[in-house]
Amino acid sequence: MLENQNGNKKALPHFRFTRWDGAAAALVVILALFLLFRPAPEEGTFCVLTWDGGEKVLSFAEPETLTLESRGITLTVTVSEDGVSVTEADCPDGICQKTGVIRHRGEIIVCIPANVIIRIPGETEEDFIAG
C-alpha cells in the first residue's frame, strides 16, 4: 500500500505476467544461448589484396610489409602470422587503419578513398555480398 499526499492509502497496480511476456523472455533466452554457443569463425591462411592496379594473394605464413599507392593515397599493409592490417595510411579518415588486425574467414578491411580491399576469403565468395 502507498500513501498519497492527502494521506489516503492506495493499492499498488497489479501486474500480470502474460503469455507475450513469456514469449519475449523465451526469445531472449534462445538468442542468448545461440550467441553463447555459436561456432568460432575459422582462421584463414591467406588474404587477398585488391586495388586499382591489380590483385595479390598474401600468405600469413610469410610475414611481409607492403607499401601500396592507389588513387594518390599511400597505405602500408603488414602481413604476419597474427593476420593482416593497415599499419599506416595517409587517407583522410583512416578507417582502414582503425580496423586493426583481421585473421578470420569472411573478415575484410576497406579503404574507400584509395579503392583498396583486403579480404580473407570464406568458404564461398557469397560471404562478401553486401546489401
Q: Residue 16 — very low, low, confident or very high, per pLDDT cuts 50/70/90? A: confident
Average pLDDT, the chain: 84
Q: Residue 87 — very low, low, confident or very high, per pLDDT cuts 50/70/90? A: very high
- How much is the pTM? 0.64
> pLDDT for 2-13, tens place per residue?
566 666 666 667
What is d(CA 57, CA 100) in angstroms, rounded to the nearest whole number? 19
Quick one: cell of 13?
497496480
Apex CA 106: angle with CA 105 and CA 110, to 5°? Answer: 125
> pLDDT for 22-65, tens place per residue?
899 999 999 999 888 877 778 889 999 998 878 999 999 999 99
